Structure 1
Amino acid sequence: MNYLILIILCAAIIIYSVVTYIYQQRIMKTLTEEEFRAGYRKAQLIDVREPKEYEGGHILGARNIPLSQLKHRKAEIRPDKPVYIYCQNNVRSGRAAQTLRKNGCREIYNLKGGFKQWNGKIKKKG
């Protein structure tokens, strides 16, 4: 009986994860670095990584609004303008897109592969 409960629980977690991933992919458009670079200067560029990661290097012109602070800082992002987001490797970007969508943002773009795949200009603090 315990194994059945465990199997059902694991299946529920997997189904939830898959549904969430599909939803995230529907609400944000993932762009190659070339596509991302072509549009982010005319949009709001948001780095959703934590401050230490941001200070270690970020895309030139990006504002740091960490995923952990996004709900509290949502007023800083205009829903009527495109939003270009990135994190380290795309995990947090999906969750950020869900929060942005709830705040009325409809044009959400994500950097494919995240900051780890970025080859353009970066800025470091210090």
Structure 2
Amino acid sequence: MEDITVKELKERLDKGDKFVFLDVREEWEYEDDNLGAINIPLGELPHRLDELEGKKDEEIIIHCRSGARSGNAKKFLETKGFSKARNVLGGIMAYREL
């Protein structure tokens, strides 16, 4: 699936749209800027996939600090059969500028 801009993400969060929201930053980063996503740091994702089991057909929007880690998480999830994973372009840094 195509990636998503921070503007689109904000609009969807404001509307209360239903999607799986995943933050792949480290715990200390998550505490600084928590947008309400599930926090699974990228390094732990392979070991915590069971937490996303049953969501393979749901839209999963993934964010991190800049979009790099979430891009890697998207690619990883796609290899595991998650067909609707989307990366937030620019990450939390771009989101802060809205």
TM-score band by shorter chain is 0.7 to 0.9
- Which 5+ residue runs of structure 2 have no aligned equivalent? none
CA deviations on 1:55-84 (whole Å, 9 max, x unpaired) are 11121x211011010001111112121100
Identity across the alignment (%): 36
- CA distance in structure 1 between the partners assigned to 2:44 and 2:70 by the alignment: 13
Unaligned runs of 5+ in 1: 1-27, 121-126
> Could you tell me which residue of structure 2 aligns to residue 64 of structure 1?
39
Q: Where does 1:23-34 land on structure 2 (aligned, <5 Å)? A: 28-34=1-7
CA contact (8 A) 1:74 1:103 kept: no
Alpha-carbon distance between aligned partners in 2 of 1:70 and 1:81, rounded to the nearest angstrom? 17
Deviation at residue 31 of structure 1 after TM alignment: 1.5
Higher helix share: 1
Structure with larger Rg? 1
Alpha-carbon separation, structure 1, partners of 2:12 and 2:81: 20
Cα offsets for 1:15-35 (capped at 9, x unmatched): xxxxxxxxxxxxx52212222
The one-letter amino acid of 1:57's match is D
The TM-score, its normalising length taken from structure 2, stands at: 0.83
Contact 1:58–1:115 (Cα < 8 Å) also in 2: no
2:59 is matched with 82
The 5-angstrom pairing of residues 95-106 of structure 1 reads 95-106=72-83
Quote the offset at 1:95 in angstroms.
1.1
Shift of 1:109: 1.4
Matched, 1:114 2:91: yes
C-alpha root-mean-square deviation of aligned residues, in Å?
Answer: 1.7
